[in-house]
Amino acid sequence: MLSERRLEVLRAIVQDYVGTEEPVGSKALTERHRLGVSPATVRNDMAVLEEEGYIAQPHTSAGRIPTDKGYRLFVDKLAGVKPLSTPERRAIQNFLDGAVDLDDVVGRTVRLLAQLTRQVAVVQYPSLTRSTVRHVELLSLAPARLMLVLITDTGRVEQRLVDCPSPFSEASLADLRARLNSRVVGRRFTDVPPLVQDLPESFEADDRGTVSTVLSTLLETLVEEAEERLMIGGTANLTRFGHDFPLTIRPVLEALEEQVVLLKLLGEANESGMAVRIGHENAYEGLNSTSVVSVGYGSGGETVAKLGVVGPTRMDYPGTMGAVRAVARYVGQILAES
């Protein structure tokens, strides 16, 4: 177990390094922080911290920089979450309040988050699997061609073309539309399948094929579209990453285009509360020199999706976590209102 002062030294190192981006030495530390001890003592502490793996030297006889393990300790034990200032909160609310539809909410959120944290922001669209059905619409495009439109309570709309095995009358269509809606409206996606299973039987033999096709398309949409969409913003902030550019930035850009990777990343956010993945803690190799701060958001205690930021491991964790948490809260509120 590290002594109180050694932890204090580690905290000081992290703070200074985050601020200056340069390895921090013992003398500078004592000057910038009131540790009450001499540089020599700090040196001894640093030696211990290094031995324990919390800090490292880029080269012999240079200052120290925190390791992933050091950041981890810092985040877990040494730093809280820095709440936003009142003007910042007000700005968030004002900015998000102007949104006109779901796309706009997500778009504004991602811009806001990128601006507040000065990092790359990622926002997941509200998940369908947790949503409920608000309405299912069936439209006849041609005698044997339908369009299925699914509207969710989060305001999302999905459409699918359905090719029917046989022509389908307008009357049957209205019938199916009415029955379908009476059964599934207000239900959660996961609850839908058993509720519609027996529907084909109540139609005439000629129409059963079509009804089955429509149903399977619907179920497919529910499952398949649970594969979520994302919006990304603030990539210009990547330029603030570090000095050794092309090498660091390239894999990050590649990761950002792989939605699957990002979804997994956000998915790792703990069900409740915020998740911080530091450097090598990220499963995806290209993000080994980045940290990901993510959190779920939603209305009324329910998590419908996640959002977060991707930045260099050398980031302002308290500030970033504060911004991410605040934005998540406000987005949740906005969703609840609409």
**Is residue 13 exposed (0-12), middle (13-18) or buried (19+ Cβ within 10 Å)?**
buried
Distance CA(268)–CA(271), nearest Å, equals: 8
Token pair belonging to 283: 């499963």
Q: Contact letters (x/-) for DNA, 54-93, by CB under 7 A?
A: ---x-xxxxxx-----------------------------
- The region of 39-47, 142-150, 251-259, 312-320 touching DNA under the rule CB under 7 A is 39-47
User: Does 41 sit near DNA (CB under 7 A)?
Assistant: yes
Q: Is the dihedral of CA 315, 321, 322, 327 positive or negative?
A: positive
170 CB neighbour count, 10 Å cutoff: 8
- The region of 38-46, 66-74, 117-125, 321-329 touching DNA under the rule CB under 7 A is 38-46
Write down the least CB distance from residue 140 to a second copy, Å: 9
Write out the binding residues for a second copy, residues 109-168 only, by CB under 8 A.
134-135, 137, 139, 141, 147, 149, 151, 155, 157, 159-161
φ/ψ of residue 5, rounded to 5 = -70, -35
Nearest residue to 240 via CA among 61, 119, 72, 81: 119
Which of a second copy, DNA, none sits in contact with 78, Cβ below 5 to 8 A by type? none
Distance CA(68)–CA(75), nearest Å, equals: 10
Which residues form the interface with DNA (CB under 7 A)? 5, 23-28, 36-41, 43-44, 46-47, 50, 57, 59-64
Which residues form the interface with a second copy (CB under 8 A)? 101, 134-135, 137, 139, 141, 147, 149, 151, 155, 157, 159-161, 233-236, 238-239, 245-246, 249-250, 253-254, 256-257
